[in-house]
Structure 1
Amino acid sequence: MTINPKDKQIRPLDGRKARGRLAEEAGARYLQEHGYELLERNWRCRSGEIDIIAKKEGVIVIVEVRSRSVHNEQYGTPAESITPRKIKQLRETAAVYLHKTHQYNESIRFDVLAVQMRRNEVVAIEHIPGAF
């Protein structure tokens, strides 16, 4: 439950946000099971947020987690939901991260984890390395 600061009413958590957190958690576990070291989760700065920052074989991997319900195919796949604007924002945010952490000469890659969900259950994860 959350309290809306404007009206002080208690209301249930937004289902979309809860599903997003579930998808990110599943994505983080997936990466760890596949040999990635998790460096950051939900890293934020003025230009935006990075869902997961990981490292594998000397490469920093910026991961965008996208989720969709399996019965909502009319809106496209999770990976198809990434717009050119989102890509630009992720690149800018990654540049800030690399600068703030003094990792100027590190190799970097942008991956997508496309998570398919049914209700509040993860049914599939598609990993797209070097998505953009």
Structure 2
Amino acid sequence: MSMHRRALGMAGEDASAEWYERAGFAVEARNWRCRTGEIDIVATRRDVLVVCEVKTRSSDRYGSGADAVDWRKQRTIRSVASQYLAQRVGRAPRRIRFDVAVVTMSAGGPSVRIIESAF
């Protein structure tokens, strides 16, 4: 992965984490990894735990970032989330939500759109 793409992805994850914090969530984990994959953001608010996949683009020229979260990616995220929950210490959430954050970077700064309960 090129340095530009890595920096773009990190900027999108930063903007998404800030969005969750402004919405009253506590960001519990970022870039949580295990053998089978990675979760970009884990955030909690009350009894809801959100697992968020962040897709950052510099433009919409090649489609929305949400298009990249196909059924295979969803299956991987669910599997990794299951492993995250198994090692998580504390009260189990009543509800788990899988979101997709679509971030478009421009000269004016990032535009963040959260698709709640995307899958």
Q: TM-score scaled to structure 1, two decimals?
A: 0.81
Of the three residues 60, 84, 99, the one matched with 2:71 is: 84
Say which one has the larger Rg. Answer: 1
Residue 118 of structure 1: how far off its partner (Å): 2.2
Where in structure 1 do 4 or more consecutive aligned residues deviate above 3 Å?
Answer: 102-105
Report if the CA contact (8 A) 1:109-1:129 is conserved: yes
Structure 1 spans left out of the alignment, 5+ residues: 1-12
Residue 49 of structure 1 aligns to a residue whose secondary structure is strand
2-side partners of 1:120 and 1:49: how far apart? Answer: 29
Residue 121 of structure 1: how far off its partner (Å): 3.6
What is the RMSD computed on CA atoms of the aligned residues? 1.9
Residue 57 of structure 1: how far off its partner (Å): 2.6
2-side partners of 1:85 and 1:30: how far apart? Answer: 26
Number of positions where the alignment pairs a residue of Structure 1 with one of Structure 2 = 117
1-side partners of 2:77 and 2:26: how far apart? Answer: 20
Specify the alignment match of 2:81 in structure 1: 94
Task: Find out whether 1:30 has 2:19 as its counterpart.
Answer: yes
Higher relative contact order (CA 8 A, sep 6+): 2
Residue 105 of structure 1: how far off its partner (Å): 4.6
Report if the CA contact (8 A) 1:69-1:119 is conserved: no
2-side partners of 1:130 and 1:66: how far apart? Answer: 15
2-side partners of 1:120 and 1:16: how far apart? Answer: 18
Could you tell me the percent identity over the aligned residues? 38
Within 5 A, what are the aligned runs for 1:3-42?
A: 14-42=3-31
1-side partners of 2:77 and 2:108: how far apart? Answer: 27
Distance 1:103 1:82, change over 3 A: farther
Task: Find out whether 1:47 has 2:36 as its counterpart.
Answer: yes
Report if the CA contact (8 A) 1:41-1:52 is conserved: yes
Paired residue type of 2:114: H
Residue 50 of structure 1: how far off its partner (Å): 0.2
